[in-house]
Amino acid sequence: MMQPPAIESSRVVAGMWRVMRWNMSREALAAFIEECVAMGVTSFDHADIYGGYEAEALFGDALASRPGLRAHIQLITKAGIKLVSPARPGHRVKHYDSSGAHLRESVERSLRALRSERIELFLLHRPDALMDAEELAREVERLNQEGKVGAFGVSNFEARDFDALHARLPLATNQIELSPFMSTPLEDGTLTALQAARVTPMIWSPLGGGRLFDEQDPVAARVRETLQAIQRERGVASWVSIAYAWIFRLPSRPIAIAGTQRIDGMRDAVNALDIELTREEWYAIWQAARGREVD
């Protein structure tokens, strides 16, 4: 069996999807990065399109203000989605582009924006119906040989698409959405395929994109009550840690992306690494989200 490339990453990753909305100064963002690193969150997840194509540059500026900090972190970024945006006036329609030329251009742009010579993990952001796997593989191999990209993976791929590309190009991960509210990867074979291939999944929106905190959502209320009951029984500081523990309990040992600007929120994710839910606890959370027992 082909051995997938190793991922250079902490188990909890700081997600930069909303960083432009945080309205942080360069100094405040640099301090946030340092605080994350101090608690063991050393990996930071980006995409070229985040913040209207501006998030990577903001992060790069923050890194540049702290000489030496780059040596202690791992950069993750994605490309392949072309948005219609003032930052990309040549884009006339939103589409996907997995061509070798676009991949290289995206890597070069991200390296400049992030003020870095290497991206530890580079991901194809979405499946592309026009993808040429041979062309993609050749360009990834060249970028790896040049030292510009470490491992290569994909994002939002279903099992069949992942397996097809993985057969030609060893993939380090598949970054997928998963939470008690969005459990499709548990049911459609996506996680099973990754476990069979010994590939570590990365999980985005592990808290349901904030749905978990919605006071008006009856499903979220059921899940919170279940999480809080487990929190009380275990004497854990935060019920949010139980939500992250639900992700970490999976046998594929996933990496979780925490997209919060709150250091306490990041700490909730880190603390979950020390919590191993029982099978009954794990299924109780899933049942609360589903509104019914498993079949």
Active-site residues: which are they?
50
- Select from 48, 35, 18 the least CA-distant residue to 259: 18
| Residue 241 backbone phi and psi in degrees, to 5 | -60, -35
d(CA 67, CA 62): 10
Q: Can you list the positions of beta strands (E) in the chain?
A: 12-15, 43-45, 74-79, 81-82, 95-96, 119-124, 149-155, 174-177, 202-204, 255-258
The answer to whether 107 touches 148, Cβ cutoff 8 Å, is yes
- Judge whether 111 and 148 are in contact, CB under 8 Å: yes
Task: List the structure tokens of 55.
Answer: 């998030």
In angstroms, rounded to a whole number, what is the distance separating the alpha carbons of residues 154 and 112? 22
Place of tokens 């994350």: 36
Three-state DSSP class for 204?
strand
**Residue 232: CB partners within 8 Å, gap ≥ 6?**
none
Q: What b/e string do you get for 70-92 counting C-beta neighbours within 10 Å, with b at 16 or more? A: beebbbbbbbbbbeeeeeeeeee
Q: Which H or E element spans position 29? A: helix 26-38
H or E stretch including 279? helix 279-290
